[in-house]
């Protein structure tokens, strides 16, 4: 099975380079998608004459309805045979509603802030525990009532040298770098990275970034993850959150990303992260003494836009040291602690590729009015327990494939209506999980003139 993923990784890279043979569009088209990514990237260093010219507001949001053709019973993995022909269920959701503001003070100084409401709430919810007894549990992702996803102040010395400090998005992987709904085809964010990594991943720290020629680069110094929050289903996904009114920073980490735009229409990117996670939590019992819990991540992603065709892909691999010791310590944590108290794997993986074609492009009248209608397909494989140490049970239900087909209709550039059919495919004896989803989304940044 692991040979399949090596082959997939090579196929993604070959696909990216093969696409360049027809890449006659300007590289500006690819850069514009990255530059539009909320506040993860570049604030223009300008010298406006009027104060209002310095102000930018905007944001993005998603409203989604889904019908699932499988059981939502908490035992559907532990007793899969009982739910093979179960009735489905439906749900409505507001996955992300985000408000953004930035201001250019002049002389190279700027700031930006972004507030996010997830699922229309305050980041607290009641969930049914799937791995244990089906009991109801209150889940708190972060202390506070709303998520301040970004707040930073930046000094720009030149396009090649910008220093940023505050709370920022960590651009590791494809989705964290481009997470607005106009930057991926699926109704929900691509499932692989959104499962095993924090997404959108935001941390407090210092960043140095710049653009020089065909290259964009960024390096960050940030707080480490919290091993208390790791689990079997989502690997390190919850490790950047804090149930407290502050984020522990006993352990530190570094992240980096580099993008290349040398080939017209194509962006190729590498990103990575490394940092310790043990003892980066409130813990009076010193359960992690002597452990590092080092999280190391390597990621490759690409974007191609040309000839009314868009393709994106990613491959991500992560490794956690001391996974067995961390798993044992978490399961021994007090019952009232926020730790999930289950196993965490030594390695996790996510790979995905999607491609879409604008069928309105040959219709001159629609094309001139800016209408676009993409028909797309996507494939994902992700496994939050891709490799476990020999003393730990490999929970095979967390190795998942997902196939998605659907459409994206753009009546105008900032608004997209999405529809899709997807099927999450499991190994036997687990049941597949087909779903139909429909969503309407917007994303835009607006300058005051």
Q: What confidence tens digit (pLDDT) does each residue in 118-143 have?
A: 887 666 666 666 555 566 566 666 54
Which residues on adjacent β-strands are paired with residue 300?
A: 270, 315
Give whole-number Cα distances, 433 to 88, 189, 210, 270, in Å.
10, 17, 43, 32
364 inside domain: no
Q: Quick one: which of 80, 126, 144 has its CA closest to 433?
A: 80
Contact 236, 318 (CB under 8 A): yes
Retrieve residue 131's tokens: 């791995």
* CATH code at position 166: 2.40.160.10
The span from the CA of 219 to the CA of 255, in Å, is 6
261 inside domain: yes
361 inside domain: no
Task: Give per-residue pLDDT as tens, 268-306.
Answer: 999 999 999 988 887 646 677 788 999 999 999 999 999
Count of domains forming the chain: 1
363 inside domain: no
328 inside domain: yes
369 inside domain: no
Kindly report the pTM of this predicted structure.
0.84
402 inside domain: yes
366 inside domain: no
Containing structural domain, residue 332: 2-303+312-356+374-447
pLDDT in tens, the chain (449 residues): 444 444 444 444 434 434 433 443 444 455 545 444 444 444 434 444 565 678 999 999 999 999 999 998 888 888 888 888 888 999 999 999 999 999 999 999 999 999 998 887 666 666 666 555 566 566 666 544 578 899 999 999 999 999 999 999 999 999 999 999 999 999 999 999 999 999 889 999 999 999 999 999 999 999 999 998 899 999 999 999 877 778 888 899 999 999 999 999 999 999 999 999 988 887 646 677 788 999 999 999 999 999 999 999 999 999 999 999 999 988 887 777 778 888 999 999 999 999 999 999 999 999 899 999 999 999 999 999 999 999 898 888 899 999 999 999 999 999 999 999 999 999 988 999 999 999 999 999 876 55
Contact 444, 223 (CB under 8 A): no
pLDDT of residue 22: 41
Q: Quick one: which of 67, 385, 101 has its CA closest to 236?
A: 385
């Amino acid at each position: 099975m692991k040979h399949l993923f090596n082959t997939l990784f090579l196929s993604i890279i070959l696909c990216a380079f093969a696409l360049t043979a027809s890449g006659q569009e300007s590289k500006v088209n690819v850069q514009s998608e990255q530059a539009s990514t909320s506040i993860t990237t570049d604030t223009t260093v300008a010298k406006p004459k009027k104060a209002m010219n310095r102000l930018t507001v905007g944001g993005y949001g998603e409203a989604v309805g889904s019908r699932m053709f499988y059981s939502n019973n908490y035992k559907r993995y532990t007793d899969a045979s009982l739910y093979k022909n179960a009735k489905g269920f439906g749900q409505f959701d507001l996955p992300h509603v985000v408000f953004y503001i930035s201001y250019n003070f002049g002389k190279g100084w700027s700031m930006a802030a972004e507030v996010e409401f997830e699922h229309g709430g305050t980041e607290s919810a009641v969930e049914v525990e799937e791995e244990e007894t089906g009991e109801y549990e209150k889940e708190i992702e972060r202390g506070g009532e709303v998520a301040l996803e970004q707040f930073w102040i930046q000094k720009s010395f030149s396009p090649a040298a910008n220093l940023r400090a505050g709370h920022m998005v960590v651009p590791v992987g494809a989705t964290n770098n481009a997470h607005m709904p106009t930057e991926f085809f699926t109704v929900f964010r691509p499932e692989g990275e959104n499962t095993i990594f924090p997404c959108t991943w935001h941390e407090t720290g210092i960043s140095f970034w710049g653009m020089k020629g065909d290259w964009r680069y960024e390096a960050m110094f940030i707080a480490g993850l919290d091993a208390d929050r790791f689990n079997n289903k989502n690997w390190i996904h919850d490790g950047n959150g804090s149930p407290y009114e502050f984020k522990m920073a006993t352990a530190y980490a570094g992240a980096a990303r580099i993008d290349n735009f040398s080939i017209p229409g194509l962006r190729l990117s590498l990103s990575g992260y490394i940092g310790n996670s043990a003892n980066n939590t409130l813990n009076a019992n010193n359960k992690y003494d002597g452990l590092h819990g080092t999280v190391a991540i390597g990621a490759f992603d690409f974007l191609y836009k040309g000839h009314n065709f868009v393709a994106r892909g990613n491959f991500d691999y992560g490794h956690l040291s001391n996974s067995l010791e961390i798993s044992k310590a978490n399961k021994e944590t007090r019952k009232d602690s926020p730790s999930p108290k289950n196993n965490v794997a030594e390695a996790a993986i996510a790979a995905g590729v999607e491609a879409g074609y604008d069928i309105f492009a040959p219709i001159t009248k629609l094309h001139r009015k800016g209408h676009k209608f993409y028909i797309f397909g996507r494939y994902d494989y992700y496994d939050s327990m891709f490799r476990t140490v020999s003393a730990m049970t490999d929970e095979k239900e967390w190795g998942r494939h997902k196939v998605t087909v659907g459409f994206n209709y753009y009546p105008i550039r900032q608004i997209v209506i999405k529809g899709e059919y997807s099927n999450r495919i499991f190994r036997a004896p687990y049941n597949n999980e087909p779903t139909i989803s429909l969503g309407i989304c917007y994303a835009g940044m607006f300058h005051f003139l």
